[in-house]
Structure 1
């Protein structure tokens, strides 16, 4: 249950100005106000998916941003603690990679023994009790991660990351971290008396890191299923005396049914006997909340419960502080939970004109702790590497061939042709697969690539390609190329011909899975249902959204072999594209896709990013569809080739609506 609206409003107002806010304006949580002599209020606060967004600054746009930043989330911690009788603070992972500050430390400055990473500096200021790992902690390699974690003033736990699995019993695994910690915390009850409570924290990472970061983990680590690991270790926590058990699950909420090694297992983790509350993350969504998880069996999106147990997911990049409030009651010498509430409290809101309004200011101690690295990162991202003769933007990347995706494909093709020119694959035709990363969606109405013509700096290349993926290439058939594109076409809803202003985009389909394949030409028939489901399983055998697929002006030969250059995520099976997995990989590069883009721009001096128009939608006369994009798209709508796009007014949350005439 969230706090009443009036209470939230008063509390947020008291937060303006941070820790200096008057304590007279801070209202106690109902549990703290009503706790009896044998009861105590315990508030546990969560940050998750910070992705190195320590400061409220967008390094890609090179300007402040009021929707993000641990320095902002940090400001509300003091007041949130003041609302509670007793409190603890945890981090739920994905703090080490995700913006140029992280890349600067990893690739430019490096980490020597004794160095402190800026995100760890910030966390140490805030007094965390415990943290767990997310999948992005492994992007820069194990050695780098351990050097970073060595600077932390608080422990990390992870129960399903192992050095090796020698038996079926997870408790016999040799783990990299303690699976759990039990923190004995002195808490004050309703009478003012102080007594200890033993709070156990157990952590979990998605098993898929073995695919996503195989280059860093293969032969060095293994992962267990999240639920299996929990079933093994939670009884041990109880035996060791934990009064309550809190799961730190860097894993989202998926109601499709339990499966072994599932990525988003938090719903089923909550069902493990002995777990009392679950902190979730990974999906960059908000729980409890008005829309992200409505209708999921076992999830109460209003009260913030999974399988009847309190749970929270606190957005991403510091956008929210997750709160689980527990009313504990003493039962002899131990404690039990008798009531709970959950809340994801934002750091900003939008006014009546949809403008972002910050609800909090920066915490000065966090700013001071990371100022030096911030300034060094600004110098790093502003470094020019070449020029572009035309703007690079991603406002229409999901509805038309796009310059921001085109330049990635051009660079990948340039690179792989050079790499394979002397080897056994030199005579195979080369195709290039690339997807738009910044395409609005959960990132908001400003979450788009927008690089003007002229100088291109490193910040612009990072903007084009957000992740430190490495280049890989697969050898597949023409039929598999078609199925790759069929899977990508899940980005779109099915539209009945003749329909006016149908919803075009499938909001549950991530833009990073919308691959455009260059080197072939094709159309997408939106009147057809999807051929594959989200797991790459054949759903509609007679459905063919990809039509008129051609190579060199002729229908593609379904048995001919093609080299397709992509990234390690996709080549390793990321996104569950049919028949695309590690067994198809023929080339593993030592270089990141971003480094390849930089080299390509340097080699060209001035690039021409104009899209070549190799794909479009099949015409459906009398049919139109609506999609949302950033309002700045209005500057470029008239430049889109091969698509008729009309302004359709204002959308929600700062987006603009456009009409695609099919």
Structure 2
């Protein structure tokens, strides 16, 4: 089977079509604008594919395969963004040897548009993260990490706005509480701000002040904590805030076959997606906008 046909079959087979759930029904037409969001999380320095004898992950992943897949999708729809939800570093000897330079160089070659910062991205300290920034030809967003008095100050923005084919897309980042998870000596003076308060502010800025048609949160908070249900997570964030259309998550290595539909505090539907870890899957969510900017969506996780 040709790779393109395989991708199309897989996407159709596991597509989530949002209709009657707050987002508009999926009815593409000649006036429809399609925006594709591709995303990864918790790749953890996995450059090579898994071997043929490692169980369920055998013969999956690898940067080269992901690159081919991304390029195939971009050819089908040039209106594509590629995002990462953090924990780019740590997990293979590549990180131990190159300190993160290889990961950033390869992501730049794959033309990532934006990423947020995970807890393991501090594993070589905040100074080690800063040292690798010249290798990243993409930007980082984190709205709830205050980097004042650190080397990362002014190198991380709270949000970024993309304008693609008449559609305005606002993306902001959120990071997990570092205290108790990462040694203080590694993240130094980085301050953690409340994700719910920050999200309410970010959604107001992006949705109302900046008039974004699509608001995306790049989150490294974790999908959900069964043993600590009140702990801040993507699911809890979604139900207690408004204005977000999509949360792209990380940290908990949660493998979702398709996005979860969640009602926000206003009772409106929005999406949460996370594609596990190690570059095994690539998330793909297509948003369709009609002439009045009403939107519908379908999403899937594609095995690499």
Provide TM-score, normalisation by structure 2: 0.80
Question: Counterparts in 2 of 1:356-505, with a 5 A limit?
Answer: none
Task: Work out whether 1:79 is the aligned partner of 2:82.
Answer: no
Between the aligned partners of 1:228 and 1:102, the Cα distance in structure 2 is 34
Task: Work out whether 1:213 is the aligned partner of 2:182.
Answer: yes
Which structure would you say has the larger RCO, counting Cα contacts within 8 Å and 6 or more residues apart? 2
Change in CA separation of 1:225 and 1:175 when aligned onto 2, cut-off 3 Å: farther
> 1:342 is matched with which residue?
299
Task: Work out whether 1:183 is the aligned partner of 2:173.
Answer: no
Task: Work out whether 1:200 is the aligned partner of 2:167.
Answer: no
Deviation, 1:86, is 2.7
Gaps of 5+ in 1: 1-12, 16-20, 107-115, 166-173, 187-195, 290-302, 348-662
> 2:203 is matched with which residue?
234
SS of residue paired to 1:286: coil
Between the aligned partners of 1:247 and 1:150, the Cα distance in structure 2 is 25
Write the deviation string for residues 405-457 of structure 1: whole angstroms up to 9, x where unpaired.
xxxxxxxxxxxxxxxxxxxxxxxxxxxxxxxxxxxxxxxxxxxxxxxxxxxxx
Between the aligned partners of 1:336 and 1:93, the Cα distance in structure 2 is 30
Gaps of 5+ in 2: 18-25, 264-268
8 A contact 1:304–1:341 mirrored in 2:
no
Write the deviation string for residues 550-577 of structure 1: whole angstroms up to 9, x where unpaired.
xxxxxxxxxxxxxxxxxxxxxxxxxxxx
Deviation, 1:275, is 0.5
Change in CA separation of 1:218 and 1:89 when aligned onto 2, cut-off 3 Å: closer
Corresponding residue pairs, total:
277
> 1:248 is matched with which residue?
218
Deviation, 1:304, is 2.9
Change in CA separation of 1:203 and 1:70 when aligned onto 2, cut-off 3 Å: same
From the two aligned structures, give the one with the greater strand fraction.
1
SS of residue paired to 1:310: strand
Of residues 247, 252, 255, the one that matches 1:278 is: 247
Between the aligned partners of 2:216 and 2:285, the Cα distance in structure 1 is 10
Write the deviation string for residues 50-75 of structure 1: whole angstroms up to 9, x where unpaired.
101112267xx9xx962332222222
> 1:660 is matched with which residue?
none
Of residues 265, 271, 274, the one that matches 1:313 is: 274
> 2:38 is matched with which residue?
45
> 2:136 is matched with which residue?
152
Between the aligned partners of 2:188 and 2:175, the Cα distance in structure 1 is 18
Between the aligned partners of 1:152 and 1:344, the Cα distance in structure 2 is 25
Change in CA separation of 1:254 and 1:185 when aligned onto 2, cut-off 3 Å: same
SS of residue paired to 2:147: strand
8 A contact 1:39–1:329 mirrored in 2:
yes
Deviation, 1:255, is 6.3
Deviation, 1:117, is 1.1
Deviation, 1:84, is 4.0
Task: Work out whether 1:136 is the aligned partner of 2:136.
Answer: no
Change in CA separation of 1:218 and 1:152 when aligned onto 2, cut-off 3 Å: closer
SS of residue paired to 1:88: strand
Of residues 86, 94, 103, the one that matches 1:101 is: 94
Report the aligned-residue RMSD.
3.0
Of residues 104, 112, 118, the one that matches 1:120 is: 104
Instruction: Return the index of the structure with the highest Cα Rg.
Output: 1
SS of residue paired to 1:143: helix
Provide TM-score, normalisation by structure 1: 0.39
Deviation, 1:232, is 1.8
8 A contact 1:14–1:26 mirrored in 2:
no
Change in CA separation of 1:219 and 1:122 when aligned onto 2, cut-off 3 Å: closer
8 A contact 1:161–1:176 mirrored in 2:
no
Task: Work out whether 1:324 is the aligned partner of 2:285.
Answer: yes
Change in CA separation of 1:25 and 1:43 when aligned onto 2, cut-off 3 Å: closer
> 1:269 is matched with which residue?
237
